[in-house]
Structure 1
Amino acid sequence: MGFANGIAEQYKNLLADWIPQEATLAIAVGDSYIYYVAGAYDVHLNCGKGIKEGSIADQVIRERRKIEAVVEEELLGIPYYGIGYPIELHGEPAALIVILPPDHKLAIKEPYRFITGKQQDEWSPIPIEKVSHFESLNKKSWFYAKSEQYKTNLTLKELHRRLPDCFLRIHRSYIVNIHSIRKITRDFSSNLLIVLQDNTELPVSSSYINDVKRALEF
């Protein structure tokens, strides 16, 4: 249980940029839940409770991919909106589940198709696929397209919630477009570096290494 608690805290800190504070967290491995901390929306999962067939935990463990869905009440007795992430515990497939009220999904907007950036006194709508990366610098947010820098009033936290799946958080200060990555290498201290098509080098922080490796499959 102590091990599960430690893992859950690590993921909670990692996800803190976007999950609401009232979210409930659960970890499932094998055929049961081994960790559960109720937030404002408690679905009354207990440690040791079996995983029901068709639940988010069941799908994540079987399919080894992120699952996002509104789950009807026949599975747990209470409907909920959940997001499940594939993780590993002691080498075993496991699932980290973020649980929220069922209407939370309704508040989530479609991914950005464009982002409007400012240069001096001009604003330009840029197609999202042309953006190479986002950066937080000096308490301001910037993005880059064709090596040009634009300012945006959106925070990285807000952006992360609505960017398409091809955007990957690699650091508290950087989100990159996977399609803009040229290679992944290491610096003189053996830390991971993302090198973009224009040769911009961005560091991968230790908090995001596992996410980067999982997303890019290396």
Structure 2
Amino acid sequence: MKDFQDYELLDVMGELFSDEISIAVSDGEHYVYYRPSVRVDLKIKAGDLVKSGSLAHMALTSGQKVSDFINRDVFAVPYHGMAVPFHRDGQVVGSVTAIYPSFTEGKSVLMVKTQDGWIPVPFPDVKYLEVRGKKTHVEANGISGTHRNSLQTFEFILPRELFVRCHRSFIVNVHHIREVYPDTHSTLLLLMNDGTKIPVSQSYASYFRKLLDF
């Protein structure tokens, strides 16, 4: 890691990027530098191992530039970004990753497909999203329809101050939750304002509690 000790230089390089873009630099195995943005913080520390499934790991193992959406399974925060490997004597010796802000920048509505066409629904009016079969169903105030995006994609593009993934089949708008009940096996049950009951699965329960701070 001796080639990466000039952190002042890395900080200067970081100034070239927007405050809304996080920057991570790794050697072949560990992160050696990380600057979080005002929008996305993956909580990386210098010395942390590069995690399998991360963009940095993809760039290191493929030896090529990669750009992709990464779900919450890797850092507990979904993100989109780009990682570029750098080489020495033909060998990959490190990578630089840029983590971008949410795709929802400048957007405030969700286009919902109904039998008659598409309806723009403001984010606050969306109650929850549910996977049924192979489709994502959107339930909103007075509107029910579908959208082509997967829940994994929605988990990233929807504003985090409103929407939380609580189950492999559900994302909920926290402003439409009336009550939260304890359920069996350390799980929770949500009672929505419209009377719908939505489960919080065991795998998402601690994540759900952490985000809502209870």
Does TM-score exceed 0.5, indicating one fold? yes
Which residue pairs with 2:48 in the alignment?
33
**2:104 corresponds to 1:80:** no
Which residue pairs with 1:141 in the alignment?
136
**2:143 corresponds to 1:128:** no
Which residue pairs with 1:109 in the alignment?
103
CA distance in 2, matches of 1:172, 1:41: 28
**2:207 corresponds to 1:211:** yes
CA offsets per residue over residues 150-169 of structure 1, 9 Å max, x none? 12122212222210012100
Q: How many angstroms does 1:39 deviate by?
A: 1.7
Q: How many angstroms does 1:191 deviate by?
A: 3.0
**2:139 corresponds to 1:158:** no
| 2:155–2:165 CA contact under 8 A, matched in 1 | yes
| 2:30–2:48 CA contact under 8 A, matched in 1 | no
| 2:178–2:193 CA contact under 8 A, matched in 1 | yes
Alignment of 1:154-193 (within 5 A): 154-165=149-160, 166-187=162-183, 191-193=187-189
Q: Report the CA distance shift for 1:206/1:124 in structure 2 as closer, same or farther (over 3 A).
A: same
Q: Report the CA distance shift for 1:41/1:148 in structure 2 as closer, same or farther (over 3 A).
A: same
Q: What letter matches 1:123 in structure 2?
A: W
SS at the partner of 1:125?
A: strand
Q: How many residues align?
A: 149
Q: Mark the runs of 5 or more structure 1 residues left unpaired by the alignment.
A: 1-23, 44-64, 71-76, 83-104
CA offsets per residue over residues 57-103 of structure 1, 9 Å max, x none? xxxxxxxx97x899xxxxxx853225xxxxxxxxxxxxxxxxxxxxx
Q: How many angstroms does 1:148 deviate by?
A: 3.3
CA offsets per residue over residues 111-159 of structure 1, 9 Å max, x none? 5411111222232111111101101101111111125321212221222
CA-based RMSD of the aligned residues comes to 3.9
CA distance in 2, matches of 1:177, 1:139: 21
Q: Residue 113 of structure 2 is aligned with which of 111, 115, 118?
A: 118
Q: Report the CA distance shift for 1:25/1:32 in structure 2 as closer, same or farther (over 3 A).
A: closer
Q: Report the CA distance shift for 1:28/1:173 in structure 2 as closer, same or farther (over 3 A).
A: closer
SS at the partner of 1:198?
A: coil
Q: How many angstroms does 1:204 deviate by?
A: 0.7
SS at the partner of 2:60?
A: coil
Which residue pairs with 1:57 in the alignment?
none
TM-score (norm 2): 0.56
TM-score (norm 1): 0.55
Q: Report the CA distance shift for 1:41/1:190 in structure 2 as closer, same or farther (over 3 A).
A: closer
CA distance in 1, matches of 2:45, 2:95: 23
Q: Report the CA distance shift for 1:29/1:162 in structure 2 as closer, same or farther (over 3 A).
A: closer
Which residue pairs with 1:42 in the alignment?
60
| 2:130–2:171 CA contact under 8 A, matched in 1 | yes
Percent identity, please.
28
CA offsets per residue over residues 23-42 of structure 1, 9 Å max, x none? x9979899843675462223
